[in-house]
């Protein structure tokens, strides 16, 4: 994950979120359409369900981010784990809408606002704490998406980062300045 050197918490947070968004998208792209709604087992979630949950969380947390509780009264969290989007197009629209809430809320923020107080489920957080909470939550679920995608892509899976057994080769390319950014 080659990111630009920065001392801006906001800039770095937004770039890390964008990186994990792209990582999930590259994983989802490797999954056959019919597998998007399949779960590895009865106690796991499908990619479509994870996307639906993330989109619901993102809408709730980042709509009126600075002025209303991040757990909106109209959010029905339990239903996020039912009736997944059925097509890749529906899943993609839901995914993009969720991320749009995130970036619309975070992009205009200033460093001075990082210490402002916001609420999530009536608990006070600084803006920085709220961002950290969501960054951790979203990367947790992106990891699940990648894991499920790899399972269903099977032998067709293409590594999203350094392929297994290629660490030394990658390290040598980095040292020689020949590594490409993904």
Q: What is the Cα–Cα distance from 182 to 11, expressed in whole angstroms? A: 19
Q: Which domains does the chain have, with CATH numbers?
A: 9-175 (1.20.120.450)
E-assigned strand segments in the chain: 117-120, 123-126
pLDDT tens, N- to C-terminus, the chain (182 residues):
556 777 889 999 999 999 999 999 999 999 999 999 999 999 999 999 999 999 999 999 999 999 999 999 999 999 999 999 999 999 999 999 999 999 999 999 999 999 999 999 999 999 999 999 999 999 999 999 999 999 999 999 999 987 787 777 766 666 666 655 44
pLDDT of 165: 78
Q: How far is CA 142 from CA 1, 47, 80, 104, in A?
A: 15, 9, 16, 20
Give me the residue label for tokens 């992106």.
142
Rounded to two decimals, what is the model's pTM?
A: 0.88
């Amino acid at each position: 994950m080659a990111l630009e050197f920065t001392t801006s918490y906001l800039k770095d947070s937004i770039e890390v979120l964008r990186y994990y968004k792209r990582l999930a998208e590259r994983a989802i792209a490797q999954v056959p359409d019919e597998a998007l709604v399949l779960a590895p087992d009865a106690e796991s979630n499908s990619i479509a369900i994870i996307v639906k949950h993330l989109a619901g969380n993102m809408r709730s947390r980042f709509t009126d981010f600075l002025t209303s509780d991040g757990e909106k009264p109209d959010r029905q969290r339990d239903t996020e784990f039912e009736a997944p989007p059925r097509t890749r197009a529906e899943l993609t629209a839901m995914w993009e809408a969720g991320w749009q809430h995130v970036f619309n809320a975070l992009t205009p923020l200033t460093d001075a606002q990082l210490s402002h107080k916001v609420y999530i489920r009536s608990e006070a957080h600084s803006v920085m704490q709220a961002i950290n909470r969501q960054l951790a939550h979203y990367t947790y679920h992106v990891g699940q998406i990648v894991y499920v995608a790899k399972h269903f892509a099977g032998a067709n899976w293409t590594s999203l980062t350094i392929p297994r057994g290629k660490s030394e080769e990658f390290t040598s390319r980095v040292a020689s300045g020949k590594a490409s950014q993904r």
